[in-house]
Amino acid sequence: MMLDIAGGSGAHAIGALQKWPHLKGTVYEMSPVSGFVSEYAKQYGLSDRLFSVTGDMWKDPFAPADLHFYSQVFHDWTSEKCRFLTEKSFAALPSGGRLIVHELLLDRDKAGPLVPSLMTMVMLLWTEGRQYSEVELTEMLQGAGFVDV
């Protein structure tokens, strides 16, 4: 079971379910956004495999899953809040569970590439977050207890 955390419409979950017919997915999202997932599931013939759970990722427990997926979530938040999410995922996942973080990555020295650098400037204007490097995300994941990052 894939849990798409802050997954919006479920676009990533839909793509994954189309690719892997054995996979089931849940989009974890705040109301009223979570209400749209069932419409998209029906549209793509996935009503029997794609579900939604309404919740607040900062306060509410995650739905059961063996894969957590965050797409373009971490760049909205401080490193402390991202660490909270990785620790929460680690605690919620079963042994052998996986976490996927989908972000634009900065280079090790954070001087590039261009697109993630520009996105960092955008994030600084309207969120509390920024783009992270692979090193920073690896440290967050390992710090939470994940192995084979």
User: Which active-site residues does the annotation give?
Assistant: 75
> What's the rounded Cα separation, in Å, for the pair 30 and 49?
20
| DSSP conformation letters of the chain | -EEEET-TT-HHHHHHHHH-TT--EEEEE-TTGGGGHHHHHHHTT-TTTEEEEE--TTTSPPPS-SEEEEES-GGGS-HHHHHHHHHHHHHHSPTT-EEEEE-PPBPTTS---HHHHHHHHHHHHHSS----BHHHHHHHHHHHT----
